[in-house]
């Protein structure tokens, strides 16, 4: 983004204009300054990632009124600029007594409260923190503007609703430098404060949040070994001569890189290794090298062989059951990096820079790739669960039939019905599940809350455990029920890929149909919406005795008369009720 010129962005953005009949992701920008230059930059930064964004800019200095007018947008971005809360506040603040400052603080707080209330139903809101950096960054004493910024930021974090994400404006200003971030000619002319450079950097801060809300988050980072996890070539320099100890200059760079990888792993990001080496040599370093931080328990998958990286990365995605667009690949070789860029454009490729001192910074600058809108306890456990999964795969081969194997697992589903304590995880599943997902509709925490509150909707989630461990909350169904007409409609049916292949979906469907029957339902309608990733469930409803009512390239619709349902009656899956609210 930073490397593109504004005129290039304008041109590329026009080329990516969504087709008239495509689904649009509506973004509104509300502001008390002129922000028209943000439109094309934010649109392009999202369209380039496959999101059909259309940005509309609200009226100048009309945030409160516009927050009511635009609350139906998929995303609302709010630029509430401190300097222009009242005309000329950036210099007038220091002429005011403390009473007048308190007056402005209180007025602004109540406006923020009103804005949040008006945007309560909006799926996602991005709000910038208040900053005095624009006009006070060179001042040694604290000015009134800084005091106002701290007061307002403290208020923001104390009242922040779940659907609002803050962008730290100081960080954006820091990225481009205050001087480069402002174009004061247009501020005095037309209250347009920010430069094009600022908006390009700003788009980089906002994009990960939006990608996450649209289920586009990276889940796994794959490292090459030589000159990527350590300095040197293991096969030539040998075990004792590769550098990764914080005691040497190069070593401390690679120690930091491994530390960054470990921190990602702690947040639930999977770590893989893909290297052209002798497997035994690399295994020995992972197991025994005193300075190695990434050990067996952190590394979910490894491909140490002499085949090409494209084949290896394809296999990694297949074995982990995640999409190629969930992978980040790090390598020092331009050859390998470009090969992967060319053949697997879905994979995000980071190349170790020639100036090694910049290497940790490049990883840090790209942490947005892993940004996760709702971080939950599940994630922290997840990396560990994948490791248990590998154990399960190994256990599989000892059994004659898959049914025997499944029966030996002692599978147990724990069901949660309309349980508001797991809203973050439910929303996260809707955002991140791509493969076993019949409709792929993304929901924010606010949306899920609304389903739970609605008496005509039921939200069923479940966790799965077996003798190897607990996979956590990994399945979801949202059903709308009309008790008067006796009809129900399955709005969402999804399952994490971690638990695919255990027939859990059929046991769950048995349970659901029974639940709908008990609520007075006689027919159930359902829909399969095709995406590039959910082919595997294209015939799921056919396998659950639903009758196809309509089918085209994009959708299939189904109906089921409850009396016609043929239960699967899987005796080896136990279903119990979790806590219910």
Kindly list the residues in this chain that would bind another protein in the complex (CB under 8 A): 5-8, 10-11, 14, 36-37, 183, 185-186, 190, 192, 195-196
Q: Is the CB of residue 151 less than 8 Å from the CB of residue 102?
A: no
> Which residue, 176 or 330, is less far from another protein as judged by CB?
176
In the complex, the smallest distance separating the C-beta of residue 190 from another protein, rounded to whole angstroms, is 7
Q: Provide φ and ψ at 175, rounded to 5°.
A: -60, -45
**Closest to 566 in 3D by CA, of 549, 550, 542:** 542
Phi-psi group of 434: left, alpha or beta (phi > 0 → left; psi -120 to 50 → alpha; rest → beta):
alpha
> Which residue, 61 or 510, is less far from another protein as judged by CB?
61
Residues 188 and 83: their CA atoms lie apart, in Å, by 12
**Closest to 300 in 3D by CA, of 396, 388, 394, 217:** 388
**Closest to 207 in 3D by CA, of 403, 450, 370:** 370
Q: Is the CB of residue 304 less than 8 Å from the CB of residue 273?
A: yes
In the complex, the smallest distance separating the C-beta of residue 150 from another protein, rounded to whole angstroms, is 32
In the complex, the smallest distance separating the C-beta of residue 212 from another protein, rounded to whole angstroms, is 30
> Which residue, 37 or 264, is less far from another protein as judged by CB?
37
In the complex, the smallest distance separating the C-beta of residue 334 from another protein, rounded to whole angstroms, is 29
Residues 6 or more apart whose CB falls under 8 angstroms from that of 236 comprise none
Q: Is the CB of residue 426 less than 8 Å from the CB of residue 473?
A: yes
In the complex, the smallest distance separating the C-beta of residue 38 from another protein, rounded to whole angstroms, is 12
Find the helix or strand (DSSP H, E) in which 106 lies: helix 98-118
> Which residue, 190 or 456, is less far from another protein as judged by CB?
190
In the complex, the smallest distance separating the C-beta of residue 345 from another protein, rounded to whole angstroms, is 25
> Which residue, 197 or 470, is less far from another protein as judged by CB?
197
In the complex, the smallest distance separating the C-beta of residue 32 from another protein, rounded to whole angstroms, is 17
In the complex, the smallest distance separating the C-beta of residue 4 from another protein, rounded to whole angstroms, is 10
> Which residue, 195 or 300, is less far from another protein as judged by CB?
195
In the complex, the smallest distance separating the C-beta of residue 62 from another protein, rounded to whole angstroms, is 17
> Which residue, 54 or 160, is less far from another protein as judged by CB?
54
Four-residue CA torsion sign, 401, 406, 407, 408: positive
6-15 vs 38-47: helix axis angle to the nearest 10?
A: 50
Q: Is the CB of residue 167 less than 8 Å from the CB of residue 174?
A: no
Residues 6 or more apart whose CB falls under 8 angstroms from that of 349 comprise 328, 329, 330, 331, 337, 340, 341
> Which residue, 11 or 121, is less far from another protein as judged by CB?
11
Task: Please tell me what DSSP assigns to residue 523.
Answer: E
- What is the spatial order of strands in the sheet that 523-529 belongs to? 547-551, 555-561, 523-529, 487-495, 469-482, 457-466, 411-417, 573-577
> Which residue, 44 or 386, is less far from another protein as judged by CB?
44
Residues 446 and 76: their CA atoms lie apart, in Å, by 14
């Amino acid at each position: 983004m930073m490397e593109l010129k504004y005129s290039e962005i304008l041109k590329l953005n026009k080329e990516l204009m969504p087709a008239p009949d495509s689904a649009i992701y509506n973004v509104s920008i509300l502001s008390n300054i002129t922000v028209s230059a943000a439109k094309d930059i934010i649109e392009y930064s999202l369209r380039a990632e496959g999101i059909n964004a259309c940005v509309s800019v609200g009226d100048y200095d009309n945030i409160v009124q516009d927050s009511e007018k635009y609350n139906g947008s998929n995303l609302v971005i709010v630029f509430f600029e401190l300097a222009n809360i009242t005309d000329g506040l950036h210099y007038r603040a220091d002429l005011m007594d403390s009473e007048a400052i308190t007056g402005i603080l209180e007025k602004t707080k109540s406006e923020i409260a009103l804005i949040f209330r008006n945007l309560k139903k909006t799926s996602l809101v991005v709000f910038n923190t208040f900053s005095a950096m624009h006009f006070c960054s060179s001042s040694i004493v604290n000015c009134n503007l800084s005091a106002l910024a701290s007061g307002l930021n403290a208020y923001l974090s104390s009242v922040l609703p779940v659907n609002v994400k803050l962008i730290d404006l100081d960080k954006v200003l820091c990225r481009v430098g205050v001087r480069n971030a402002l174009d004061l000619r247009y501020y005095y002319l037309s209250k347009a404060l920010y430069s094009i450079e600022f908006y390009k950097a700003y788009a980089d801060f906002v994009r990960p949040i939006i990608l996450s809300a649209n289920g586009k988050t990276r889940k796994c980072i794959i490292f090459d070994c030589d000159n990527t996890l350590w300095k040197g070539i293991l096969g030539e320099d040998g075990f004792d001569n590769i550098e990764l100890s914080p005691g040497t200059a190069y070593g401390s760079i690679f120690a930091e890189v491994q530390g960054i990888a470990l921190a990602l792993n702690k947040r639930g990001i999977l770590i893989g290794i893909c290297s052209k080496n002798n497997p035994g040599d690399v295994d020995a370093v992972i197991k025994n090298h005193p300075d190695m931080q990434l050990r067996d328990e952190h590394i979910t998958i490894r491909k140490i062989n002499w085949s090409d990286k494209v084949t290896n990365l394809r296999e990694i995605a297949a074995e982990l059951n995640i999409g190629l667009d969930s992978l980040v690949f790090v390598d020092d070789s331009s050859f390998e990096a470009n090969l992967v860029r060319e053949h697997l454009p879905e994979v995000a490729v980071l190349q170790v820079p020639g100036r090694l001192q910049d290497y940790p910074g490049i990883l840090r600058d790209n942490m947005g790739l892993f940004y996760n809108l709702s971080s939950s306890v599940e994630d922290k456990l997840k990396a560990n669960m994948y490791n248990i999964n590998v154990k399960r795969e190994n256990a599989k081969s000892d059994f004659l039939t898959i049914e025997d194997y499944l029966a030996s697992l002692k599978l147990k589903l724990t069901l949660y019905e309309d349980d508001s304590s797991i809203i973050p995880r439910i929303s996260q599943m809707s955002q991140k599940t791509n493969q076993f997902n019949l409709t792929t509709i993304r929901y924010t925490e606010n949306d899920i809350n609304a389903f739970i509150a609605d008496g005509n909707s039921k939200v069923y989630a479940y966790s799965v455990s077996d003798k190897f461990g607990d996979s956590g909350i990994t399945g979801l169904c949202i059903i709308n029920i009309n008790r008067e007409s006796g009809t129900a409609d399955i709005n969402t049916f999804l399952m994490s890929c971690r638990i695919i292949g255990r027939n859990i979906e059929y046991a769950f469907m048995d349970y659901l149909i029974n639940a709908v029957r008990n609520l007075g339902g006689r027919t159930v309608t359902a829909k399969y919406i095709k995406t590039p990733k959910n082919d595997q469930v294209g015939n799921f409803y056919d396998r659950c005795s639903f009758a196809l009512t309509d089918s085209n390239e994009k959708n299939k619709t189904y109906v089921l008369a409850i009396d016609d349902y043929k239960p699967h009656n899987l005796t080896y899956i136990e279903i119990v009720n979790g806590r219910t609210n």
